[in-house]
Structure 1
Amino acid sequence: MKEYIIHHEWKIIEEGFNPAFNRISESLFSIGNGKMGQRANFEEKYSGDSLNGTYVAGIYYPDKTRVGWWKNGYPEYFAKIINSTNWIGINVRINGEELDLAKAKVLSFVRELDMQHGLLSRRFVAELKNGNQVEVSSHRFVSINATEIGAIRYSVKALNFSGEIEFSPYLDGDVENEDSNYDEKFWVEVSRAIGGQEGYLTVETLKTEFHVCTGMWFELTQNGKKVNTEITYKNKEKYVEATQKVAVNKGDELVVEKLSSTVSSLYYSKEQLVRKAKEAIELAASAGFDVLFESHKNHWLGKWETSDIRIEGDVAAQQGIRFNIFQLNQTYSGEDERLNIGPKGFTGEKYGGVTYWDTEAYCLPFYLSTASQIVSRNLLIYRHKHLQKAIENAEKLGFTSGAALYPMVTINGEECHNEWEITFEEIHRNGAIAYAVYDYVNYTGDKEYLAPQGFEVLLGISRFWSQRVNWSQDKQKYVMLGVTGPNEYENNVNNNFHTNYIAVWTLKYTLEVIEYLKTEHPYLFEELIQKWKFNELQETERWADIIQNMYFPRDEKRGIYLQQDGFLDKDLTPVSELSPKDRPINQKWSWDRILRAPYIKQADTLQSLYLFQENFSEEELRRHFDFYEPLTVHESSLSPCVHSILAARIGYSEKSYEMYLRTARLDLDDYNNDTEDGLHITSMGGTWMAFVMGLGGMRVKAGKLTFRPFLPEKWNAYSFRVNFGGAHLEVKKNRDLFTVINHSDVDVPVTVWENESLIKGKTETAFKK
C-alpha cells in the first residue's frame, strides 16, 4: 500500500513530487468524458518515468497476437484502444533551458483533482540548473458536455530573474503503445497544418483505417495582456508546433491558454474531419476557458446531484467512494451504443481498453440506479448488436444452429483474447450477459426490450449452454467439462458450480421470456421462430431436461456446494496461515503451485450466491461464506465487493466494512501495486454495489425496492441516491433511523427491514429497526 494521497472529501491531493510514484499519480489524476480521456501527464516535457496516454473511444488497433503455440479458434489479434495524438503538450524554455521536473530541483509541488467540478490542477516551484526559479500553475479539463474539447490554462511566473521565456504548444501524433506486441507504431499521417494561433493534425490507424483529427488554438498573455510577439512554427511528420518568445522581468506572469478539439471518423466522414475540428476550435475559442469551464462544471454538478454518496465521520471513506463514482461518470456516458467500458477506462493501456464481462457483472447496476434509462439500455444494445459476432465466435469452436458465445474480450464483438484457458473456457461470461438482460428488465420494468432484442440474445446463449453440456452416464446427470470459473487460479476444471448454476438459470429465464412473448407479442414471436429457425418444442424440452438434471458438486457433510469437482482434494489451509512472504501469490508462486493450491482469486461459488441470494437461506449463505472466504486471497480487484455484499447479508458487519474499504480505496492506496497501469474502472462499479447493495442492503424484488441497511460503527451517517420506477430517491442512514426521501412526484413502494411502505411523491418516511 502507498498512502501518499491526502484525505479530502472532494479532492484527490498529492503534496510533494516523488518520481517513483509518478505513474501511479498519472493514473489517479486521469480525466475523461466518455468520448476521450487523458492520463495526468505533464504539459511541459518530462524526461523521467512516465506512461503517456491520450485515448479516443472506439478507435482501436488489432495488434497481432503473440502466443507460444496456436490452437484452432484462437483470435488473430488483441484489440487495443490505442494511445492517440498528444494534445496537452506545451514545451517551456527559461533563458534557453528546458523546463523538465526530472532535471530541475522541485522546491514545492501540489497536484489536485477536484472531483466535484472535474478539474485537474498542478502547482509547483522549480529551480533550473541555471538558477532561475519559476512558479508554475496549470488547470486542465476534458469537457463533459462539449465532448470534443479539452482545455488548458498554464501559467509561468518568473520568481528571481529577468530574461526570456519561450512557449511551444504542440500536437504530437508520433506516439506509441508500451504494450505493442511487436513494438510497432499504430498511426500514419494523413495531413497537418499550422499557422496563426491554430494547428491541425490528422492521423490514421494502420489496418482499421480510423481517422482522428486533433486541433489546437492557443493564446499567450503577459500580466493579463495579450502577447503579440512573432510566432515561429515547426512542421514535421505527425507533429506541429508553434513557438512564442517573450522578454520578462522578475515577477512577470505569462499565461498560455490552449484549447483542443478531437474528432474521429467514428462520428464524421473522413472528408469532414478537419472542417469539424476547426468548427469545434472556433466555438471553443470564442467562448474561452472560463466560459467552457463554467458549463463543464455545471454538468458535473448535475451528475453529482443524482449519483453522489455522502459519508459522515470518515473522510478517507468519503474520498474513496466519490473517487469511484467520479471515474465511472467520466468513463462512460451511455450516449453511443457502440461504446462500452474497458477495465482501465481511459487511464492506461493494460487490458487494451476493451470490453470484458465486467461491464454486465459490475458496472450495469451503477448506471441503472444513477443515470437515465437509455444509458443502461445502450449497454445491452451493445451486446445485441454483436449477437451475430457471438454466433460466429461459437462457430469457430464447433457450435452450430445459432449458438452464441460472447467474447471474453472484444471491441467489435469478435473475440480477441489469446489465453486458451480463458478464451475457450471462461464461459460464465455468457451467463453474466444473460443476467444483465434480467437485471435491466427487473430494475426498469422495460419488458419491451425483450421483444425482440433481449429474447434474441437469450436464445443464442441458451443454445450455447444446451450444446456445451453433455450427459454423464456415470452420474446420470448433465455435466460441464473443461471450464474456468471466475476464480482464474483454477483452469480446465469440471463442473464449476457457478458456471453450471448460471447456465441452468439462463435456461429457466429464457423459458419465462418465451411465455411472455407468446402472451404479449404472439405475432412477433412467430416471426422470431421463423427468423431464428427456432424449434420451440424440441429445444425447450431439452432445456427443461437440463434444468431438471444438471449436476452440481456438493459436500453433504459441510452442507455446501463445491467450487468444482475435486476441490476437497486440495490442502485447505486458510489464507491466514500463509506467510506474508508468499503474498501476493500471483507474484510469488509458480503457476503450477497456484493451480494445486485451494486459494481463490475472487468470488466464484459465492458469485452465484451473490446474484441469486433469494434462492438460498441465510444459513446456507453463511455456511458457504464461512468456507470460501478464508480461502480467498482477493487478488482480483473484483473480489472485495461481492464479499462485502454477502457479508452484509449474513450479518457480518465488520467483514462487510473491511471489504468495502478495500474496494473503495483499491487504487487510491495502490493495494495491489498495479495502479500505475491504470485504474480499475469496472471494480469501481463493484465499489458502488458494495455500498448500495451491501451497506444499504438494496435489492429489487417483484418490482419493489427493498433495503436491509446497516451503519458501520466508525461512521455517523451516510446517504445515497437512486433512480427507480420514474422516481428519484435519497436514502439516509444514521445511528437510529433509515429515511427515504422522494424528490419526485411519483409514488414508490419500498420494503425496509421487511416493513412495506408507499413513499409518496415529495415526502419522506423514516424507519426504525
Structure 2
Amino acid sequence: MDTAMNYERAKQWILAEDRFTPESLGKCESVMCLGNGYMGLRSALEEEYVNEKRDLFIAGTFNKFDESEVTELPNAADVTSMELHLKSERFSLESGRIENYERFLNLKTGELVRNVIWISPRGKRVRLTFKRIVSMKRMHVIAQQVSITPLNRDMKIRLRTGIDGQVTNSGAQHFSEGEKRFYDHKYMQYVSRTTESGITFVTNSAVKREGFGSGEEGRIGMGRRHVYCDYEWDAAMDETVTFEKISNVHTLRDLEHAGRTVQELQEESVRELQEALKCGYDILARESAAAWEEKVWSRARISIDSENELDELAVRFAQYHMAVMTPAHDERMNIGAKGLSGEGYKGHTFWDADIFVLPYFTFTFPETARKLVKYRYLTLPGAHKKAQENGYAGAQFPWESAWYDDGEVTPAFGDVDIVTGRPQTIWSGKIEQHITSDVVFAMWQYYQAAGDQAFMDDYGYELLFDTAVFWASRLEYSADDGKYHINNVIGPDEYKEHVNDNAYTNYMAWWNLNKAVSCYEELSEEKPGLLGKLSEKLNLESYYEKWRELAGKIYLPQPGADLVIPQDASYLTLEDIDLTKYKEQEEVLLIYRDYNAEQINKLQVSKQADIMILFYLLENYFTDEVKKANWNYYEPRTLHDSSLSLSTHCILANDIGDRDMAYSLYQKSLNIDMGPFMKSSDGGIHSASIGGIWQSVVFGFGGVRVLEGNLRIRPSLPKKWRKLSFHLNWHGQDLFFTVTKESVKIENRTRVKAADIEIAGKVYQVFDEIEVSTER
C-alpha cells in the first residue's frame, strides 16, 4: 500500500491508500478495520460496491446457520452504508472522474478518514470528507461524520441511510427479524435474534446535521430487515454541509445486560444513543483517541529508531490490531484467527491465539491475558467431550473453538482437491493434537510472567493436570523399543498429515507431562489441601506414577549424525524436489496448483515452522549446534505458506546469530497484511502474523525470553536499527527497556519491588534504573 511506505506518514502513525481500486476493496476493508474488542467493523466504504464485504462482528455471538454447518460469528446489521445523491446524481467512484483520493487509518487514534474530490458524469465538482470511529471509550458506539462541499455550483444533497439487516455471511443469514421502530421520528431501532443460539441484538442509529440540535427528522421508511431515513439539504457553492451518524449495538449476551429483558435493552440503548448524539462526532472522536492513549499506547508503546520507518509502523500496526480484535471485556470468548476483521475461519480461535498473540498480553496487559487463559479453563467441558468422543480420558482441546461451551467447531471439509474434484477433508480437527500442550504452555508462560498464584490455585493446576490425563491416555506403547509413541497426527506443519512421532507434538506432550509431575510434587509438599481437592476431582493419585513413567519413556526424536532431528517418523525418507519456484512465490499456497494434499504429503516440503517452533518454545533443551543444523536443513524446505511461520523463523534466525536473515524475514512478515499483494487479506487480517510481528521485535531483536521462570534479555538489533525501546510487565512491575547496539537500559517505573533480570549472562536486581553494556 503505497502511501504507507511514505516515511513522513509512517512517523504520523498513518496507514493509507492513495487510489481507489474497486477490484481490491477487501485489502483495505481488513487492514483498516476498526474495533475495540467488543465489536469489529470492517472498513467498507459508505457508498456500496459489488466487490465489497460489509461486516460488523460482535465478539462471542456465535450462531449455526443450520445443522450441517459449524458455528460462526454472524454478520450483524450494517449501519455504515450511505446512499448519496448530489443534485440527482448518485455518488459513486465508479462513475465520473476522481480528481483526488486518499483514505487513511490513524493507528494512534483509531480514526478512519477519506478525502475525495469527485467530478460527476455531468460535471459537478465536489469535495467529500468521510470520518469514522469505533469508540474505544464507549464500547457499543460507532460514529461517522461526512462533510460535502460543492466546488462549482449549488446543489441539493440527498441522503438515505439506516440499519440494514439484509447482510449475510457469504449468503448465510443468521438472524430472525424482530421489531423495527422509530423513536420521535429521529432514532432508528432494529431488533434481531440469532436463529440457533438465540442471542438478541438491538441496533440503533440516528443522523444529525452539524449545528442543528441533537437529532434530525427525516422521511422514515421500513422494508424487510431494513429501517432507514431520507434526508435533504441545500448546499451553496463553496458551502460545506456536515452531517453525522451515530450508531450503537448491544446484545443480551453482554455481561452488563445479564438478566435484562429485550424491552429494557431497547429503552436503555436508545438513551445511550441520544447521549452520544448530543456529544457529536468531534467529542466522541477525541475521547476515543484519549482512551487509545490511556488503555494502549501509554502502557505498551514501542519505538524503533530505524533507517526504515516502516519497521516501527509495522509493530504499531500489530499493536493496533491486537487491541481491536481482543475481547478484553469478557473471559467467555477469545481471539479469532482473523480477529474481528473478516469472515475467514468463522471467527474461531486456534492455537494461534495461545502461542502467537497471547504473549503480547502476557507481557504488557496481564489482566487481559488472565481472561484469555481463563477462557481455556472455561472450555474444559468441551475438551472433555472431545477426548471422550475420540476414546481418550482427560481434556483434549478442540482444534477450533468458538463460544466457551461449543466444543470442537472445525468444519469437516474445506477447499477442492485439484485431482479428485471433491472437497478435502479437514483433518486438523481430528488429529492435530498439539494444541492441548500449546494451551498449557501459554498458561504456564502467563503464570511465570505475572506471578499469579491465585490463578494457578483456582484454575491453572487443574488445567495442567487434566491435559496430562489426556496425554497419558493418548500415548501408545510399542514393545519393539519399549517406548511410548504418538501416532497418526498432524504437527504444526500441516502439509504432513497422518504422521507418526511428530517431534513437536511428542516433545510438547513430554513437557506437559513433566510439568504435571513437578507441580504434583510441589503441591503435595506445599499445598496438600489443594492437591487433595484436585485429586478427588481428577483421580490424580492413579495418574501420578503413570505420568512419571510416561515422561521417562515417551519417544523423543533425537538428532542424527548430521544433528538433524526428524520432523516425524517418515519426513527424512520422502522425495526431495526442487522448491525454487515456490520459495520465490509472491502468493502463498501456489504448490496446490501443481499437487494435491496427498501428493504434498509425500514430499520433503513444509508449510510452516515445525521443528523451529519447538526450538523457540523449548529453547533450553537444544544446543546451538543442533538448532543451526536443523535450520540449514528445514528452512530451505519450508514455503512459509502459513502466516505463523515467518515470525518464528525470524526469532530463530536471531538465536543462531544470522541478523541479516532475521531482518529479511521480519520484512517479509510485514508484507503478509501491509504488503503490496492486494488479495492477501480479503478474508481478514492474520492474527498470528500480527502477534508474530510484536514477538519478532521484542523476543527476536530484543532478545527477551523467560527460561525456567527467569527473565532474560539478550538483544540482537538489525544493522538498520539504532535503538529499540519497549514496555514489559514482569510480576506486576512496569519495566521500560531501551536497547542499543552498545547497551541495555532498564527502568522500573513501578518501583514496588526489585525485578531480577539476566543481562549478558549476569543477573541484576532492578529496583529503579540500570544500564548495562552489551558490547563484546
Short-chain TM bin: over 0.9
For 2:175, the equivalent position in structure 1 comes to 187
The answer to whether the 8 A contact 1:110-1:122 is kept is yes
Label 1:230 to 1:686 Cα distance change in 2 as closer, same or farther (>3 A). Answer: closer
The answer to whether the 8 A contact 2:221-2:229 is kept is yes
1:58 partner SS? coil
Measured after TM superposition, the shift of residue 19 of structure 1 is 1.8
1:710 partner SS? coil
Measured after TM superposition, the shift of residue 283 of structure 1 is 2.1
1:245 partner SS? strand
The answer to whether the 8 A contact 1:466-1:543 is kept is yes
Matching of residues 485-496 of structure 1 within 5 Å: 485-496=491-502
The answer to whether the 8 A contact 2:63-2:197 is kept is yes
For 1:31, the equivalent position in structure 2 comes to 34
Measured after TM superposition, the shift of residue 703 of structure 1 is 4.2
1:42 partner SS? coil
Structure 1: which amino acid aligns with 2:322? L
Residue deviations 1:63-113 (CA, integer Å, cap 9, x gap): 447xxxxxxxxxx53221121111112221111222122234222110010
Match of 2:333 among 332, 339, 343: 339
Please give the alpha-carbon distance, in whole angstroms, between the structure 1 residues aligned to 2:766 and 2:545.
44
The answer to whether the 8 A contact 2:163-2:203 is kept is yes
Please give the alpha-carbon distance, in whole angstroms, between the structure 2 residues aligned to 1:455 and 1:724.
21
1:79 partner SS? coil
Structure 2: which amino acid aligns with 1:48? V
Please give the alpha-carbon distance, in whole angstroms, between the structure 1 residues aligned to 2:517 and 2:40.
42
1:515 partner SS? helix
The answer to whether the 8 A contact 2:654-2:701 is kept is yes
Q: Does 1:120 align with 2:112?
A: yes
Q: Does 1:388 align with 2:381?
A: yes
Label 1:514 to 1:555 Cα distance change in 2 as closer, same or farther (>3 A). Answer: closer
Label 1:95 to 1:276 Cα distance change in 2 as closer, same or farther (>3 A). Answer: same
The answer to whether the 8 A contact 1:450-1:513 is kept is no
2:131 partner SS? strand
Matching of residues 638-653 of structure 1 within 5 Å: 638-653=644-659
2:27 partner SS? helix
TM-score (norm 1): 0.93
Q: Does 1:558 align with 2:558?
A: no
2:71 partner SS? strand
The answer to whether the 8 A contact 2:4-2:14 is kept is no
Please give the alpha-carbon distance, in whole angstroms, between the structure 2 residues aligned to 1:733 and 1:530.
50
Please give the alpha-carbon distance, in whole angstroms, between the structure 2 residues aligned to 1:216 and 1:672.
33
Please give the alpha-carbon distance, in whole angstroms, between the structure 2 residues aligned to 1:351 and 1:210.
21
Structure 2: which amino acid aligns with 1:83? N
Measured after TM superposition, the shift of residue 580 of structure 1 is 4.9
Label 1:21 to 1:450 Cα distance change in 2 as closer, same or farther (>3 A). Answer: same
Please give the alpha-carbon distance, in whole angstroms, between the structure 2 residues aligned to 1:706 and 1:333.
30
For 1:70, the equivalent position in structure 2 comes to none
Residue deviations 1:609-637 (CA, integer Å, cap 9, x gap): 11010111222221222211111111100
Match of 1:366 among 348, 360, 367: 360
State the percentage of identical aligned residues. Answer: 25
TM-score (norm 2): 0.92
Measured after TM superposition, the shift of residue 654 of structure 1 is 1.1
Please give the alpha-carbon distance, in whole angstroms, between the structure 2 residues aligned to 1:602 and 1:666.
14
For 2:521, the equivalent position in structure 1 comes to 515
Matching of residues 273-352 of structure 1 within 5 Å: 273-302=265-294, 303-312=296-305, 313-352=307-346
Matching of residues 49-88 of structure 1 within 5 Å: 49-64=51-66, 77-88=69-80
Measured after TM superposition, the shift of residue 471 of structure 1 is 0.8
For 1:654, the equivalent position in structure 2 comes to 660
For 1:73, the equivalent position in structure 2 comes to none
Measured after TM superposition, the shift of residue 705 of structure 1 is 2.0
Please give the alpha-carbon distance, in whole angstroms, between the structure 2 residues aligned to 1:47 and 1:207.
30
Measured after TM superposition, the shift of residue 734 of structure 1 is 2.3
Measured after TM superposition, the shift of residue 379 of structure 1 is 0.8
Please give the alpha-carbon distance, in whole angstroms, between the structure 2 residues aligned to 1:624 and 1:6.
35
The answer to whether the 8 A contact 1:759-1:765 is kept is no
Measured after TM superposition, the shift of residue 461 of structure 1 is 1.2
Matching of residues 456-475 of structure 1 within 5 Å: 456-475=462-481
1:561 partner SS? coil
The answer to whether the 8 A contact 2:186-2:216 is kept is no
Label 1:703 to 1:496 Cα distance change in 2 as closer, same or farther (>3 A). Answer: closer
Structure 1 runs not aligned, ≥5 long: 66-75
The answer to whether the 8 A contact 1:405-1:464 is kept is no
Please give the alpha-carbon distance, in whole angstroms, between the structure 1 residues aligned to 2:641 and 2:685.
15
Q: Does 1:541 align with 2:545?
A: yes
Measured after TM superposition, the shift of residue 225 of structure 1 is 5.7
Q: Which moved more, 1:504-513 or 1:590-599?
A: 590-599
The answer to whether the 8 A contact 2:333-2:402 is kept is no
Q: Does 1:437 align with 2:437?
A: no
Measured after TM superposition, the shift of residue 503 of structure 1 is 0.6
Structure 2: which amino acid aligns with 1:589? D
The answer to whether the 8 A contact 2:756-2:764 is kept is yes
Please give the alpha-carbon distance, in whole angstroms, between the structure 2 residues aligned to 1:706 and 1:736.
17
For 2:590, the equivalent position in structure 1 comes to 585
Structure 1: which amino acid aligns with 2:151? L
Label 1:227 to 1:697 Cα distance change in 2 as closer, same or farther (>3 A). Answer: closer
Match of 2:242 among 255, 266, 275: 255
Please give the alpha-carbon distance, in whole angstroms, between the structure 2 residues aligned to 1:712 and 1:382.
37
Structure 1: which amino acid aligns with 2:208? E
Label 1:28 to 1:405 Cα distance change in 2 as closer, same or farther (>3 A). Answer: closer
Measured after TM superposition, the shift of residue 281 of structure 1 is 0.6
Label 1:579 to 1:384 Cα distance change in 2 as closer, same or farther (>3 A). Answer: closer
Match of 1:755 among 740, 751, 762: 762
Label 1:215 to 1:672 Cα distance change in 2 as closer, same or farther (>3 A). Answer: closer
Matching of residues 660-739 of structure 1 within 5 Å: 660-669=666-675, 673-739=679-745
Measured after TM superposition, the shift of residue 679 of structure 1 is 0.5
Measured after TM superposition, the shift of residue 5 of structure 1 is 3.7
The answer to whether the 8 A contact 2:327-2:333 is kept is no
Match of 2:607 among 596, 601, 611: 601
Label 1:664 to 1:370 Cα distance change in 2 as closer, same or farther (>3 A). Answer: farther
Label 1:672 to 1:231 Cα distance change in 2 as closer, same or farther (>3 A). Answer: closer
Label 1:539 to 1:444 Cα distance change in 2 as closer, same or farther (>3 A). Answer: same
Measured after TM superposition, the shift of residue 695 of structure 1 is 0.3
RMSD between superposed Cα atoms in Å: 2.1
Residue deviations 1:338-385 (CA, integer Å, cap 9, x gap): 1210011111101011111111111111001111x2211111110111
Structure 2 runs not aligned, ≥5 long: 413-424
Please give the alpha-carbon distance, in whole angstroms, between the structure 2 residues aligned to 1:698 and 1:184.
45
1:750 partner SS? strand
The answer to whether the 8 A contact 1:5-1:669 is kept is no
